[in-house]
């Protein structure tokens, strides 16, 4: 028994565009929240404050392609990050250490970005 079926699909492109814009904004807000979280956790090694303050920023230039980056723009950031065996000064940041992003990548705060993005997306999309 064959039946003829006819259907029409209409995409609401304005809503799709609104959701895409909300996702981009939620990604940027998530990066800002993660940046703030890392600074407040006081895990970035700190002497003069350059590595944690003016040389630590969010690059959202590719957020439209679903990519943001937290950047340390000092030449010594890589050396400090990948050498947790260094004896970091804890006077200004009591929890300073190498590999300071690890808690948010695979450690105790690994779900921070996912949860933050979900919350920001709901808010930005009006859901």
Q: Which two tokens stand for residue 44?
A: 């970035």
Question: Is 25:124 a contact under the CB 8 Å cutoff?
Answer: yes
Average pLDDT score over the chain: 95
Question: Is 75:101 a contact under the CB 8 Å cutoff?
Answer: no
pLDDT digits (tens, 9 = 90+) for 35-75: 999 999 999 999 998 999 999 999 999 999 999 999 999 99
pTM: 0.88
What residues does each domain of the chain span? 14-125
Q: Which residues contact residue 110 at a Cβ distance below 8 angstroms, ignoring those fewer than 6 apart? A: 103, 104
Residues 47, 104: Cα–Cα separation, whole Å: 23
Residues 121, 125: Cα–Cα separation, whole Å: 6
């Amino acid at each position: 028994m064959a039946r003829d079926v006819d259907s029409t699909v209409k995409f609401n492109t304005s809503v799709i565009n609104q959701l895409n814009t909300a996702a981009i904004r939620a990604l940027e807000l998530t990066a800002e929240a993660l940046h703030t979280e890392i600074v407040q956790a006081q895990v970035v090694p700190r002497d003069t404050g350059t590595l944690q303050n003016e040389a630590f920023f969010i690059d959202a230039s590719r957020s439209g392609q679903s990519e943001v980056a937290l950047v340390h723009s000092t030449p010594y950031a890589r050396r400090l990050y990948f050498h947790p065996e260094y004896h970091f000064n804890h006077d200004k940041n009591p929890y300073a250490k190498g590999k300071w992003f690890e808690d948010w990548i695979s450690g105790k705060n690994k779900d921070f970005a996912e949860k933050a993005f979900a919350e920001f997306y709901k808010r930005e999309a009006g859901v």
